[in-house]
């Protein structure tokens, strides 16, 4: 009733379409704002009878501040047509602070309404079965997505691809469990088809293979979520800092003709070809430098170990120098040697300062591994470098537009591993009751993944990523 007088609507507005209303204070009748009112009915035939959420959207173009401005009522019913599954009224108001506080005060005077907690809308949607836990995570990732690849990945997870995959697996397990239990109950009964247990065994082993292959991919999804480690390394003065500055389009590192200028690791988050990247500039790798620089070199080597992709950089006009040779021998050669291992770090070898080479005297590429010629000064070769980086990043992070849904969180990995471990205990040759229990445990892990029977702490952890209003 109070909401009707607020919006001066005798009837609830038509479902899911915007209508322009003059908002009035429900008690004093004072005009507050001209606002768009949207009504998302839940399932009940009598709208609002069981309570309603109110969500206030502020036009941020007109507001200097972002306000925590969502009010929601305590009672709620389930319904299919709104985000939370409850009746929901959305008020789109102008962003002036006086308007916002006026509307909030008016809403505050409505008995039963209280401000929403951070993430409460999503949590209600989850509680009403409108979203699975992995979909909730997808939504959180979407809100925080900074690059195109992250957005694509988050959207796929929000669309439920990962939870559908898990549900499919869970279904296989449920079926297997039903067969095993039937066998326990009526084992000797002739009514049971021949070979039921053999089929169960085949299904479970096939599931193991599928789970293992997803787990092998797990690092990729996490890289896509938190950024791939790309490290620029090479001898002093090769132009590493110049490249980092070019790629990040800001002066992160000091560029100087004096060798040994970059001594500590400088890292900066960048968006490279749509992929999130943590780009690190390292101290030039050389022997015999002073103590501080030595420490820099030590850290540089350490960082190289953690890199997903290494951009090895040399001065093309200085390939014969001892620092170039030693970099080729100690860093490049071992990386090239292991490049056939699938899980290993990827190397792009770059020869910088191509502008210093005269046209008829190209870099003396005496048996150099495959490389790209580049000039940070003229920009020559940068397009080719970006293209090559994109290919490497897609391999390292996984392509978010195609391929199977990725496991983006350690949590996903944990439960899948748990499921796999449980399946490892499934043996038809031993006690069938134990085999059934293994299947039950495996199924429980999958259900934890999508949020069934999730503990409160995990829910709290996931929902704390949300802001008020989502
Ligand atoms: P770092 O020690 O590897 O980080 O190298 P810097 O980025 O500090 O560059 C060392 C020197 O090489 C600076 O004087 C740069 O201006 C110069 N430099 C960097 N890239 C190029 C290039 O493509 N061509 C030429 N001619 N000089 C470059
Ligand atoms: Zn540098």
User: Does the Cβ of 323 fall within 6 Å of ligand 1?
Assistant: no
Query: Ligand 2 centre and the CA of 277: distance in Å?
Result: 19
Asked casually if ipTM beats, i.e. exceeds, 0.90, the reply is yes
Question: Across the strands, what pairs with 352?
Answer: 315
Which protein residue's CA is at the shortest distance from atom 27 of ligand 1?
353
Q: Which atom of ligand 1 is nearest to the CA of 378?
A: 23
Cβ of residue 324 lying under 6 Å from some atom of ligand 1: no
pLDDT by 10s per residue, the chain, length 470: 666 677 766 676 777 788 888 888 888 888 888 888 888 776 554 444 445 667 776 654 444 333 333 433 333 333 456 777 777 777 888 777 788 778 878 877 777 777 777 777 778 778 877 888 888 888 888 888 888 888 888 888 888 888 899 989 999 999 899 888 888 877 656 555 667 888 899 999 999 999 998 888 777 888 888 889 999 999 989 999 999 999 988 766 667 666 666 656 778 888 888 889 999 888 776 666 566 667 777 777 778 888 999 999 999 999 988 888 888 888 888 888 876 665 567 899 999 999 998 765 555 556 788 899 999 999 999 999 999 999 999 888 877 777 777 788 888 888 999 999 999 999 888 788 999 999 999 999 998 888 776 556 666 766 666 665 66
* Residues 6+ away with beta carbon under 8 Å from 190: none
**Whether the CB of 380 sits within 6 Å of ligand 1:** no
Q: Whose CA is nearest to atom 25 of ligand 1?
A: 353
**CATH (one of 3.40.50.300, 3.40.50.620, 3.40.50.720, 3.40.50.2000) for 225-397:** 3.40.50.300
**Residue whose CA lies nearest to ligand 1 atom number 2:** 237
User: Candidates 232, 237, 282, 379: which one to mutate for ligand 1, based on the most atoms within 8 Å of Cβ?
Assistant: 237
Ligand 1 lined by 148 (C-beta under 6 Å): no
Q: Does the global pTM surpass 0.80?
A: no
Q: What are phi and psi of 407, to 5 degrees?
A: -90, 110
- Which amino acid residue places its CA nearest to atom 22 of ligand 1? 353
> Which residues have C-beta under 5 Å from ligand 2, the single-atom ion?
240-241, 262
CA-CA distance, 19 to 21, in Å (whole number)?
6
Cα separation, 445 vs 425, in Å, equals 14
Tell whether ligand 1 has an atom less than 6 A from the beta carbon of residue 262. yes
What's the gap in Å between 65 CA and the centre of ligand 1? Answer: 44
Find out whether the beta carbon of 238 lies less than 6 Å from any atom of ligand 1.
Answer: yes
- The CB of 261 under 6 Å from ligand 1? The reply is yes
- Whether ligand 1 lies within 6 angstroms of the CB of 251 is answered as no
Query: Is the distance from CB of 103 to CB of 56 less than 8 angstroms?
Result: yes
Is residue 353 lining ligand 1, measured as CB closer than 6 Å?
yes
Q: What is the 3-state secondary structure (H, E, C) of 29-71?
A: CCEEEEEEEEEECCCCCCCCCCCCEEEEEECHHHCCCCCCCEE
* In the chain, domain spans: 2-116, 161-217+407-463, 225-397
In Å, how far are 58, 110, 112, 134, 296 from 84, measured between CA atoms?
Answer: 20, 21, 18, 16, 53
Domain 161-217+407-463: assigned CATH number: 1.20.120.430
């Amino acid at each position: 009733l109070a909401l009707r007088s607020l919006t001066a609507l005798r009837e609830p507005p038509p479902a899911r379409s915007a209508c322009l209303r003059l908002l009035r204070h429900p008690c004093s009748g004072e005009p507050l704002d001209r606002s768009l009112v949207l009504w998302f009915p839940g399932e009940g035939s009598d709208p609002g009878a069981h309570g309603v959420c109110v969500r206030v959207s502020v036009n941020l173009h007109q507001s200097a501040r972002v306000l925590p401005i969502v009010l929601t009522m305590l009672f709620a019913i389930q319904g299919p047509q709104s985000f939370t599954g409850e009746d929901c009224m959305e008020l789109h108001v102008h962003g002036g602070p006086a308007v916002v506080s006026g509307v909030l005060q008016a809403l505050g005077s409505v008995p039963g309404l209280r401000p929403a907690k951070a993430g409460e809308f999503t949590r209600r949607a989850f509680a009403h079965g409108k979203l699975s836990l992995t979909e909730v995570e997808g939504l959180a990732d979407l809100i925080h997505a900074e690059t195109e690849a992250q957005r694509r990945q988050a959207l796929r997870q929000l669309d439920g691809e990962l939870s559908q995959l898990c549900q499919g697996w869970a279904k296989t397990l449920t079926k297997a469990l039903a067969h095993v239990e039937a066998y326990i109950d009526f084992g000797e009964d002739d009514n049971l088809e021949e070979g039921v247990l053999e089929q169960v065994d085949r299904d479970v082993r096939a599931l193991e293979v599928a789970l293992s292959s997803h787990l092998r991919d797990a690092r990729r999804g996490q890289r896509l979520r938190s950024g791939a480690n790309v490290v620029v390394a090479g001898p002093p003065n090769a132009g590493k800092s110049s490249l980092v500055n070019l790629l990040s389009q800001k002066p992160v590192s000091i560029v100087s003709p004096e060798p040994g200028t970059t001594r500590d690791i400088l890292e900066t988050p960048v968006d490279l070809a749509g992929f999130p990247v943590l780009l690190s500039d390292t101290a030039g790798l050389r022997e015999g430098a002073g103590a501080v620089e030595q420490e820099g070199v030590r850290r540089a080597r350490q960082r190289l170990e953690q890199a997903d992709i290494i951009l090895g950089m040399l001065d093309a006009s200085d390939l014969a120098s001892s620092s170039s040779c030693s970099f080729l021998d100690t860093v490049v050669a071992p990386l090239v040697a292991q490049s056939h291992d699938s899980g290993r770090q990827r190397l792009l070898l770059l020869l910088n300062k191509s502008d210093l080479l005269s046209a008829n005297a190209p870099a003396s590429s005496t048996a150099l591994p495959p490389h790209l010629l580049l000039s940070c000064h003229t920009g020559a070769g940068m397009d080719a470098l970006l293209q090559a980086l994109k290919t490497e990043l897609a391999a390292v992070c996984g392509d978010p537009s195609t391929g199977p849904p990725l496991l983006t969180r350690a949590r996903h990995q944990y439960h899948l591993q748990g499921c796999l471990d449980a399946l490892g205990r499934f043996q038809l040759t031993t006690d069938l009751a134990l085999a059934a229990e293994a299947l039950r445990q495996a199924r429980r892990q999958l259900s934890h993944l999508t949020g069934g029977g999730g503990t409160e702490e995990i829910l709290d952890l996931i929902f704390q990523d949300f802001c008020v209003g989502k």
